Amino acid sequence: MTRFPHPTEKGRFVFEKGADATVLKIAKGKGGAGGAFEATDVVPKNGWLYFPVKGNLAYKTDGWSGSVSVWCNTDPDRLIKSKFCDPVQITQNGYDNGARWFDFNDAKPRALRFGAFTARPAGQKAVAEADPKAPLVRVPGVGWRAGE
pLDDT for 64-74, tens place per residue?
Answer: 677 778 888 89
Expressed in angstroms, the distance from the first to the final Cα of the chain is 30
pLDDT category at 16 given cuts 50, 70, 90 is very high
Give me the pLDDT at residue 112, please: 94
Domain end residue (candidates: 11, 31, 52): 52
Rg (the chain; Cα; Å): 16
More confident residue, 59 or 104: 104
Q: Find the mean pLDDT for residues 115-121.
A: 89
Give me the pLDDT at residue 103, please: 94
pLDDT at 48 over 80: yes
Contact 15, 2 (CB under 8 A): yes
Together in a domain, 65 and 48: no
Together in a domain, 3 and 67: no
Together in a domain, 4 and 70: no
pLDDT at 10 over 80: yes
Together in a domain, 83 and 110: yes
| CA-angle at 127, arms to 80 and 5, nearest 5° | 45
Together in a domain, 5 and 48: yes
Mean residue pLDDT of the chain comes to: 87
Contact 117, 126 (CB under 8 A): yes
More confident residue, 19 or 53: 19
Q: How many domains does the chain have?
A: 2
Q: Which domain holds residue 87?
A: 60-148
